[in-house]
Structure 1
């Protein structure tokens, strides 16, 4: 056999795959260079038709370029030039164009187009017009080109710009805003600025006219891309606002470093433009740092004054849906009582400083309950969470301090929890719920006064401090319907109870009320007015029905007397008709025993010491003195001392009159159903109750 010849296989060149890769890359680069060269030479003018069709298809709008068109890389930025450029409005926005310009000349960062950051390094805009509109439902706008829900306006970052003859129109039916702004670049010489973009305009917000003007100032040091200085001045609704600082870019508000100075006659005017209801104020001036982070406008380092009060803290307005969200942490060192009035419904324009700061007149009658209506419609526009602390309250004879307020508003449900403050050396703790989801507004009150030294409390209200060990505590639980505090209380139902535990009081403060004239005169001549009188227990209770409070009961047990009260007061017209009498436990030669009346109004109470019963007894005494002897005249004022001491258990529990007992455990026959009982069982017939109601509550 012939020997088989084995021939080696031809070897492949090791560089062939690398050469192929290099060849492919070179081809691609060559094509890119060729395309770039063609575009650069032709300026991309041949892309005008495809540009109009593609953009129109993506935006669902009519897109036209009436004049010159350029689109190419120059050398790395995308250069876009269009003359007679326009994009139409969507059908719902009416006729006209969303945007049009006589000429646009721009340099767009190629890398930003890849990453989606949208940065324009240069923009020249001549005779532009932008029509920025929201629809009436707030679901669509003219600048969101997709069929989805309209997005907030998000302009590309513009590093440098020259703008001439440009108008911007903005319309938002929900916020009731319509504005027109003119923008014009002013070339500056021999200054630190290369140019300034000035703007001015006017419009209306919720029917109120405003004007504005300002400028974007670009320092030479940041021409290549950096911070832009902003100056803005706006006037309207009796308010002036100045904003100054720096922006990251000419159209970039996010992360701006700004300062705001706002002053005016009423802070509520400004918030009303946002549809936010806040209490009225007197003249104010506030300054703060201002910046924007996503949907939040943040006001930090806030300081200033309103009226005669100071204010500091921080506030955030978040443009959330369906309602904007207002949050704030505020602090006040000194709050003037006149400035505090509007927070509970008083008008600062109708109040005057001093004792009458919270007193107004209605038809010649002094009134103290506030009647400013709650702005229910405005509560639909926002939610809120506010914390506010007040160290001192400047008010004559009103010992209030250390206020702590927590306010939460959630879809028209307004909660004040806590609403706490110091009263003398006691603490008032409150939880108040105002439900504006119901009409009329439904309010629940729960107000508690912790045990408070009576002497300190009296001293705080202008009465000479008694130095007593006596204390008191109280609670108010009521509900009412109405769109103001006055209307709510005028329809209220619930209970009011003031409890006096065991303690000592000055004779001067107690004995006059008891009208034990013999003891008082004796101590007056012996100069023992400061000798304490022992209070065993006491309850000043009222049951409130449909705005009328009836004593239920008024019962104070002292060492020597039992003080009883009957009558009541009305939240409807703020009138008072109360009668007090003291029955002695021991024999007293001179004792009035007859009722002492408290009448008048909340704002102007009066005391009637010479009640008809007392005058009748004095007449009887005078008659006896004439007919018999001077000694007989004293008989009419003798107190035989048969008052029944109270069981302090039901008294200290704040129980109603029906649950009260004597110290021997028997039902009391001298209190009942808000009036003084006439029967031994403590019950009255309907005719008797009606007769007493006419006598003691006749003013209702």
Structure 2
């Protein structure tokens, strides 16, 4: 019975098919393959566009869009490609996009993705267009992606190499009137970061500019810790610059170290470009090391030329205070005096062999045609109040064909809050020294000026080194000048000045021919011309003028020698630039041909005249009175160099 009951069950089991293990595995693999095939047939990498857009948006704080296709090639390196990308701009910008690209390909290392970090081995951008804008309402710009203290954040992405094809980079700063449009193309440089060749144009601080050169990849701008390498030539207006080196925070210009060659037509043109209130100058070319750390700029070890003068030194600009502080230590081995004309408000000389721009040549031509000599170009009060300065400038030698007696210069200029102080302003002149102390208050117009000038030990023969009549002369000139005036130009200041001018010379000697000609003693003059000149001792010479409202009036004017006494009177009009002086000679020897005619010095500063005044021949009374007033002013006596143990009794016996 048991046997009968078990028989159907046994038959039932015997009817089920039994698959071998290898056949079952084949069926599983076939099903899996069909599922994978179906997945591949239906899969689209564009499904990941939205997550990728959200990830980039979270990292940058900006909306990121991929309007084209997204594709991924898997392997040891994952290559992600996308078309028609865009990154939104900062909320304050009027432009919707900070950057766009026709296509981008990124090689990504897979393992850092597990730690939610993005390591891009290379990014290839085709047709990228990036717009960098300075924030008009505060520091920084649209390149600041995440607010807060970025130094405390750990970057979650890294880029090793960038390749750009047909790129464009635009930078704008509306407040600084700056806008530059640059085309970019990467240059092959091995496996390292690829530099870019660039060519730009636009406006820098309102001046048209061009910018050819090369630079590090533009995306390096976003990495504050990596110095940005540049090798550029730039031109803005007439100013040209060639720079190579590194920048940190390049568009904020906070830290950089560059070798900078700078050239232009006029240093004054740097004021609108860089905010440096420098005086007008002839064309210049300088080369040195430019560094900046925050608000401190340094142009170190520069050398070059300004006009026809060599110039070297160090410059430092500290912009941390209320006004920038410009500090400079300058040296010229050979200074062309014409190149200092801009300090006085005059154009540099534009004659043969002189360096001047076309504009300066035109101004020099107009000035040469003017009957006026004193510079009348107004000083710019805004510039004098725009910054503070501390400048020391030394010149070891001076080239001045019209004033060959000038030998060297040492000037120290300090400017603070619109108040300028030149002290010392020293010139080595004809073996002596002219030392000036000049103060100008430009806080309001007109400028108030006070100048004190001390003349010491100037040798008479060296004043006229090319004059034959000066050969063999001797004597040292000394004196003091003090003037106060108000005006916005040199001409205006002197035209209304008050003060005094006193110059004198102690014992010396001078050509007898000069003295005879001064007395118009024809016989004596002819004798010396035919038989040779001789030297006549000078007892003293002096000129003492009072200055009031721009008019110099002679208080004492005389030259006393053993041969002739000359006394003078008259005025010098600083406002009209006119001379009106009368010199009365009285020869001390006897001659039947001695005319004793007074000499009239007239004309203008630019065109003086010297002629005998025949109408004054008979004025013996006035001349006699003048003889009693030729004793030198007491203030000058201390400056006379009369020789060891000797006192000057200049005019003594004639005054009695």
TM-score, length basis structure 2: 0.70
Instruction: Tell me what 1:444 maps to.
Output: 450
Deviation of the 1:83 alpha carbon: 9.5
Q: Following the alignment from structure 1 to structure 2, what is the Cα–Cα distance between the partners of residues 285 and 120?
A: 46
Instruction: Tell me what 1:331 maps to.
Output: 331
Deviations 1:341-393 (A, max 9, x none): 33322213655669xx9987669554321223323333444333222221222
Q: Following the alignment from structure 1 to structure 2, what is the Cα–Cα distance between the partners of residues 274 and 51?
A: 38
In structure 2, the CA distance between the partners of 1:194 and 1:125, relative to structure 1 (3 Å rule), is closer
Structure 2: 5+ residue stretches without partners: 1-46, 71-75, 110-117, 149-154, 218-224, 355-360, 640-649
Give yes or no for contact 2:544–2:554 (8 Å, CA) kept in 1. Answer: yes
Instruction: Tell me what 1:624 maps to.
Output: none
Give yes or no for contact 1:562–1:645 (8 Å, CA) kept in 2. Answer: no
Give yes or no for contact 2:98–2:142 (8 Å, CA) kept in 1. Answer: no
Q: Following the alignment from structure 2 to structure 1, what is the Cα–Cα distance between the partners of residues 97 and 516?
A: 84
Instruction: Tell me what 2:11 maps to.
Output: none
What is the SS of the residue equivalent to 2:543?
strand
Instruction: Tell me what 1:627 maps to.
Output: none
Q: Following the alignment from structure 1 to structure 2, what is the Cα–Cα distance between the partners of residues 196 and 120?
A: 20
Instruction: Tell me what 1:652 maps to.
Output: 636
In structure 2, the CA distance between the partners of 1:134 and 1:479, relative to structure 1 (3 Å rule), is farther
Q: Following the alignment from structure 2 to structure 1, what is the Cα–Cα distance between the partners of residues 174 and 384?
A: 18
Deviation of the 1:275 alpha carbon: 3.3
Instruction: Tell me what 1:611 maps to.
Output: 614
Instruction: Tell me what 1:241 maps to.
Output: 241
Deviation of the 1:85 alpha carbon: 6.3
Q: Following the alignment from structure 1 to structure 2, what is the Cα–Cα distance between the partners of residues 197 and 642?
A: 84
In structure 2, the CA distance between the partners of 1:365 and 1:428, relative to structure 1 (3 Å rule), is same
Structure 1: 5+ residue stretches without partners: 1-41, 57-62, 70-74, 109-118, 149-154, 219-224, 618-635, 656-660, 669-700
1:429 to 406, 431, 435: 435
Give yes or no for contact 2:511–2:535 (8 Å, CA) kept in 1. Answer: yes
Instruction: Tell me what 1:529 maps to.
Output: 533
In structure 2, the CA distance between the partners of 1:352 and 1:377, relative to structure 1 (3 Å rule), is farther
Q: Following the alignment from structure 1 to structure 2, what is the Cα–Cα distance between the partners of residues 185 and 436?
A: 52
Establish whether residue 549 from structure 1 lines up as the match of residue 552 from structure 2.
Answer: yes
Deviation of the 1:582 alpha carbon: 3.0
Deviation of the 1:287 alpha carbon: 2.2
Give yes or no for contact 2:423–2:437 (8 Å, CA) kept in 1. Answer: yes
What is the SS of the residue equivalent to 1:541?
strand
377-386 or 592-601, larger mean C-alpha shift: 377-386
Deviation of the 1:159 alpha carbon: 6.3
Deviations 1:498-552 (A, max 9, x none): 1223433333344533x1728944973895732322324x331222222222222
Q: Following the alignment from structure 1 to structure 2, what is the Cα–Cα distance between the partners of residues 121 and 511?
A: 97
Deviation of the 1:600 alpha carbon: 1.6
In structure 2, the CA distance between the partners of 1:243 and 1:510, relative to structure 1 (3 Å rule), is same
2:481 to 472, 476, 479: 476
Q: Following the alignment from structure 1 to structure 2, what is the Cα–Cα distance between the partners of residues 641 and 95?
A: 86
Deviation of the 1:581 alpha carbon: 0.8
Q: Trace 1:2-151 onto structure 2 (pairs within 5 A).
A: 63-67=62-66, 86=87, 88-89=89-90, 91=92, 95-97=94-96, 99-101=98-100, 124=123, 126=125, 127-135=128-136
Deviations 1:82-104 (A, max 9, x none): 9966454454xx53358445579
What is the SS of the residue equivalent to 2:464?
helix
Q: Following the alignment from structure 2 to structure 1, what is the Cα–Cα distance between the partners of residues 548 and 107?
A: 75
What is the SS of the residue equivalent to 1:367?
coil
Give yes or no for contact 1:134–1:141 (8 Å, CA) kept in 2. Answer: yes
In structure 2, the CA distance between the partners of 1:381 and 1:142, relative to structure 1 (3 Å rule), is farther
In structure 2, the CA distance between the partners of 1:509 and 1:160, relative to structure 1 (3 Å rule), is farther
Q: Following the alignment from structure 1 to structure 2, what is the Cα–Cα distance between the partners of residues 249 and 134?
A: 14
Instruction: Tell me what 2:265 maps to.
Output: 265
Establish whether residue 401 from structure 1 lines up as the match of residue 424 from structure 2.
Answer: no
Deviation of the 1:204 alpha carbon: 1.7
Deviation of the 1:47 alpha carbon: 10
Instruction: Tell me what 1:201 maps to.
Output: 200
Establish whether residue 215 from structure 1 lines up as the match of residue 214 from structure 2.
Answer: yes
Give yes or no for contact 1:539–1:651 (8 Å, CA) kept in 2. Answer: no
Q: Following the alignment from structure 2 to structure 1, what is the Cα–Cα distance between the partners of residues 119 and 295?
A: 23
1:599 to 582, 599, 602: 602
In structure 2, the CA distance between the partners of 1:304 and 1:86, relative to structure 1 (3 Å rule), is same
Q: Following the alignment from structure 1 to structure 2, what is the Cα–Cα distance between the partners of residues 387 and 183?
A: 44
Give yes or no for contact 1:587–1:640 (8 Å, CA) kept in 2. Answer: no
43-52 or 272-281, larger mean C-alpha shift: 43-52
Give yes or no for contact 2:454–2:481 (8 Å, CA) kept in 1. Answer: yes
Deviation of the 1:595 alpha carbon: 2.3
Q: Following the alignment from structure 1 to structure 2, what is the Cα–Cα distance between the partners of residues 174 and 205?
A: 11
1:498 to 483, 496, 503: 503
Establish whether residue 575 from structure 1 lines up as the match of residue 574 from structure 2.
Answer: no
In structure 2, the CA distance between the partners of 1:490 and 1:350, relative to structure 1 (3 Å rule), is farther
Q: Trace 1:296-695 onto structure 2 (pairs within 5 A).
A: 296-320=296-320, 322-348=322-348, 366-398=371-403, 399-459=405-465, 462=467, 464-513=469-518, 515=519, 517=521, 520-521=524-525, 524=528, 527=531, 529-536=533-540, 538-559=541-562, 562-583=565-586, 591-614=594-617, 643-644=627-628, 646-648=630-632, 650=634, 652=636, 663=652
Q: Following the alignment from structure 2 to structure 1, what is the Cα–Cα distance between the partners of residues 575 and 122?
A: 68
- Aligned alpha-carbon RMSD (Å): 5.1
The count of corresponding residues between Structure 1 and Structure 2 is: 562
Deviation of the 1:642 alpha carbon: 10
Instruction: Tell me what 2:179 maps to.
Output: 178
TM-score, length basis structure 1: 0.66
In structure 2, the CA distance between the partners of 1:453 and 1:144, relative to structure 1 (3 Å rule), is same
Deviation of the 1:481 alpha carbon: 2.4
Deviations 1:46-100 (A, max 9, x none): 79769968976xxxxxx4234599xxxxx9xxx9x99966454454xx5335844
Give yes or no for contact 1:171–1:178 (8 Å, CA) kept in 2. Answer: yes
Deviation of the 1:446 alpha carbon: 1.9
Instruction: Tell me what 1:277 maps to.
Output: 277
Q: Following the alignment from structure 1 to structure 2, what is the Cα–Cα distance between the partners of residues 318 and 294?
A: 9
Give yes or no for contact 2:520–2:597 (8 Å, CA) kept in 1. Answer: no
Give yes or no for contact 1:261–1:285 (8 Å, CA) kept in 2. Answer: yes
Give yes or no for contact 1:497–1:654 (8 Å, CA) kept in 2. Answer: no
Deviation of the 1:237 alpha carbon: 1.8
